[in-house]
Chains A and B, each alone.
Chain A
């Protein structure tokens, strides 16, 4: 993992000192809220419905056990004993006191973490594939490139007052697990003639105007990465609509300018600035790559595991759903579900964080990842250790076998916390998960992603859920709109609205009808919900969601 140097450390310490003084001046009345707000936002401090919220970056989702233990400690010492992991690989604390936040930031700095650029119109936390460095289908580890971009973008003087927020995601595998096509810039590592380069995708985004990003470079050489990204951000920084924040994201700039014209402008800018990148970025990159070599994997054959797998059905089910293929076939990637049915998706208690930290140290080479799907990943576990790991997770409600299934729901905080929400999302997720868990049919339903947002900002990625749910406020009552057929991977697609929304009470029965319809029309259990939807289109699903309308048209 990347190691902070003295420069990084003193930069963070300085920032924390400045912010401590700013908080003191706010509290003693020398700063007004209007003056203070941009300062607190630069340090990840929001005001939500019931309290402040502190958003801490987990760059490219990577943590070690000491860092996770510190996150647990912070939750216990200054918050309410838990944290919320988000779709952007951040952790949010929902109940900090303003006067405690400087202490919390110092505690983070002690383990090389911070909250800088987790809000505001800056380049945000760079996210990456949560299986990075471990996946069997990986071409190259995306994290060194994410780290290079993080260093370049942190406190970059030209990019502190962008037209709007700017989000970058990097994936290095064949399967896109980083939702690269819904980011301002998505980078996918590809390979040509033994050399790696980047498929550069720009102008993706969710929110009120969702768009799938477009490829602007099919194979950008690694040497050109920073100058090219700088050219993209710099062209947008000038063109981006500062007059209207709803039109300020690069997706709108790309849409309004046209991909060809914006590409010409970016190429021109790239040619201007390319010579100023003297190669220091590349020597930096090489030293970062060395930091990401990954652990030396234990060389031991697998035998016990197979016996366990064949004899213990519950363990087998967990292995089948929660582990993924590792590049080394004696190891597995383990996803720890934070979605026990009934639980708040993405929340982990301090006790859970500590157990995971201990287990990562014991069985996982001290490596931990946070996924955008709001789960925790141990990227390298020897197969001989899987059974012991499973048994150790179980007492802490951390062994739910539901990764990728209907109860593995992404949900934003919604109206339970968020000041921008128009409806709740958490109770909807709890209801759906509990319902299908009780029916014991989720393994039969198979791979199905439900994603819920509490307003059009789409923090819960509902547009790219196989089933997307958007909570709205219809004349003072919560109302939920369903979209179908969204896809967050390399075949990214925006879901299509199914029809009128449902009240909170009618939503679960509607989802139940939808699933029943899927089970009856799929070709075989191997055909996923998304595949069935793609084969048949909306008709059978609409009929299930709106049976009355169907009867009316038949009667007419």
Chain B
């Protein structure tokens, strides 16, 4: 099976409440996975990562992670990022409770 081509997004945790956040095309951070800017090109992704990491007074642990195309939108390529996107499976906590302000 050929591996589908993966794109990347930038994610982090919010400095104050620890919430999972994503870097948007407007250069801001959003708690909403669907607002993440998707990079097809790794060189551009690396470049924006440097810019995103510079906003260190809002974030902790900024990194790139892979996403896969999914019916016109994207989904996390790895289950770890699925949990970050949704919340833990033992309680209805985290993002699944409803998107909160960062």
Q: Report if A and B associate in a common complex.
A: yes
Given the interface pairs A50-B93, A50-B94, the reply to whether A29 lies near B57 with Cβ below 8 Å is yes
Q: Does A430 contact B (CB under 8 A)?
A: yes
In the complex, what residues of B have CB within 8 A of residue A95's CB? 18, 93
Given the complex of chains A and B, what is the CA–CA distance between A98 and B56 in angstroms?
A: 15
* Beyond known contacts A50-B93, A80-B93, A416-B90: 14 more, CB 8 A cutoff: A33-B56, A49-B84, A50-B18, A50-B87, A50-B94, A50-B95, A97-B17, A98-B16, A344-B91, A415-B83, A426-B88, A426-B90, A476-B79, A478-B79
Given the complex of chains A and B, what is the CA–CA distance between A99 and B15 in angstroms?
A: 9
25 sampled A-B residue pairs with Cβ under 8 A: A27-B15, A27-B16, A27-B57, A29-B56, A33-B61, A47-B13, A49-B83, A50-B18, A50-B93, A50-B94, A50-B95, A51-B17, A96-B18, A97-B16, A97-B18, A98-B17, A415-B79, A416-B89, A416-B90, A426-B88, A426-B90, A427-B90, A476-B78, A476-B79, A478-B79
Against A, the Cβ 8 Å flags (1 = close, 0 = not) of B55-82 are: 0110011000000000000000111100
In the complex, what residues of A have CB within 8 A of residue B52's CB? none
Given the complex of chains A and B, what is the CA–CA distance between A427 and B80 in angstroms?
A: 15
* Contact (Cβ within 8 A) B83 A98: no
Q: Does A52 contact B (CB under 8 A)?
A: yes
Given the interface pairs A33-B60, A52-B18, the reply to whether A415 lies near B90 with Cβ below 8 Å is no
Shortest Cβ distance from B56 into A: residue = A32
In the complex, what residues of A have CB within 8 A of residue B79's CB? 415, 476-478
Given the complex of chains A and B, what is the CA–CA distance between A471 and B82 in angstroms?
A: 17
* Contact (Cβ within 8 A) A98 B80: no
In the complex, what residues of B have CB within 8 A of residue A47's CB? 13, 18, 60-61
Query: Which residues of chain A have a CB within 8 Å of any CB of chain B?
Result: 26-29, 32-33, 47-52, 80, 95-99, 344, 415-417, 421, 424, 426-427, 430, 476-478
**Which chain B residues numbered 1 to 57 have a C-beta less than 8 Å away from chain A?**
13, 15-20, 56-57
Given the complex of chains A and B, what is the CA–CA distance between A511 and B27 in angstroms?
A: 49
The one of A49, A51, A97 that contacts B80, using a Cβ cutoff of 8 Å = A49
In the complex, what residues of B have CB within 8 A of residue A80's CB? 91, 93
* Contact (Cβ within 8 A) A344 B90: yes
In the complex, what residues of B have CB within 8 A of residue A28's CB? 57
The one of A27, A52, A417 that contacts B88, using a Cβ cutoff of 8 Å = A417
* Contact (Cβ within 8 A) B19 A50: yes
* Contact (Cβ within 8 A) A424 B89: yes
The one of A27, A50, A344 that contacts B84, using a Cβ cutoff of 8 Å = A50
Given the complex of chains A and B, what is the CA–CA distance between A518 and B64 in angstroms?
A: 47
Closest 8 pairs between A and B when the two form their complex, measured CB to CB: A51-B18, A416-B88, A29-B57, A52-B18, A50-B94, A97-B17, A426-B90, A344-B90
Shortest Cβ distance from B95 into A: residue = A50
Given the interface pairs A32-B56, A415-B79, A478-B79, the reply to whether A26 lies near B15 with Cβ below 8 Å is yes
In the complex, what residues of B have CB within 8 A of residue A427's CB? 89-90
In the complex, what residues of A have CB within 8 A of residue B95's CB? 50
* Contact (Cβ within 8 A) A430 B19: no
Given the complex of chains A and B, what is the CA–CA distance between A421 and B17 in angstroms?
A: 21
In the complex, what residues of A have CB within 8 A of residue B87's CB? 50
In the complex, what residues of A have CB within 8 A of residue B94's CB? 50-51
In the complex, what residues of A have CB within 8 A of residue B78's CB? 476
